[in-house]
Amino acid sequence: MMTTAEREAQAANDRERWERERLLESLEAYRRGLADAPMVQKFSVSRGASPNEDRPLTVVASEESEDRLGDVVRANGWDLRAYRRNPVFLWAHDYTRTPIGRSSWVAVEERRLVATLEFAPTAFAREVETLYRRRFLRAVSVGFRAKAFSFRKGKDGTAQGIEYKEQELLELSAVPVPANPHALAKALDGELSAPRLRPLFTFDMPPARVEPEDAQRVMSELRRLRGMVA
């Protein structure tokens, strides 16, 4: 018999496979002119963040490296016009709840989609900011509409993933699960008009202390979103 952890892992794998199949179907329907461009969400993991609350929190939300699904999002394909009119930062792509912040700046820099985050003056948003700055949370995600793409193939001709060539950014989200292992959370060094990014500390440094009750509230929300509690 499978353990509870094994059943949860199997359920997560089944859900991911189902979602992937529906995405591929939607992309094919769009390519044939039978449907609108589908909504896509891609996760990224952050390496470090600034513990200094006086510095803006800037993240690399997407870059061109291949993610664990074999997908690549081309940086020169980003259309940021719609997002700049409504630069929301959401919690786990939840469109039904109030945003936890906004992007005060977003641009493509050196083949990366980079954004500076400003958190809302709410208790939950501040807790999320604290967990990012102290590296308890490290993942961010882009929500975009795929406009032009192609299916990638390996050397043996088998399907390898999707190459997104043109995509319209709709929102950014704080998320618990990463897909792109190379995106970094960084702090802004210099003025926004001439952004020069650098990490403030390395991945293997011990995280600063966060109050247990703050972490517990956010972790409870993570479990709820993943269906682990009612």
Could you report the per-residue pLDDT of 99-152, keeping only the tens digit for each? 999 999 999 988 899 999 999 999 999 999 998 888 888 888 999 999 999 988
Q: What is the mean pLDDT of the chain?
A: 76
- Alpha-carbon distance of 87 to 99, in angstroms, equals 10
pLDDT for res 67: 85
- 182, pLDDT greater than 90: no
Nearest to 43, CA basis, from 187, 167, 136, 181: 181
pLDDT for res 214: 57
Total-model pTM:
0.70
pLDDT for res 224: 55
- 30, pLDDT greater than 70: yes
Helices (H), 123-164: 123-133
- 227, pLDDT greater than 50: no
- 24, pLDDT greater than 90: no
- 184, pLDDT greater than 80: no
Residue type (1 letter), 195: P
Region 165-186: mean pLDDT is 71
pLDDT for res 46: 53
Could you report the per-residue pLDDT of 186-222, keeping only the tens digit for each? 332 333 232 332 332 223 333 444 456 655 665 565 5
pLDDT for res 34: 87
Region 91-100: mean pLDDT is 92
How many CA atoms within 13 Å lie on the side-chain side of 202? 2
pLDDT for res 217: 62
Q: What tokens appear for 17 in the block? A: 């496979």
Could you report the per-residue pLDDT of 34-71, keeping only the tens digit for each? 888 888 988 776 544 455 566 778 888 998 888 888 89
Nearest to 114, CA basis, from 48, 197, 216: 197
Residues 6 or more apart whose Cβ sits within 8 Å of residue 12: none
pLDDT for res 127: 93
Entry field: residues in the chain: 230
pLDDT for res 9: 72
pLDDT for res 203: 30
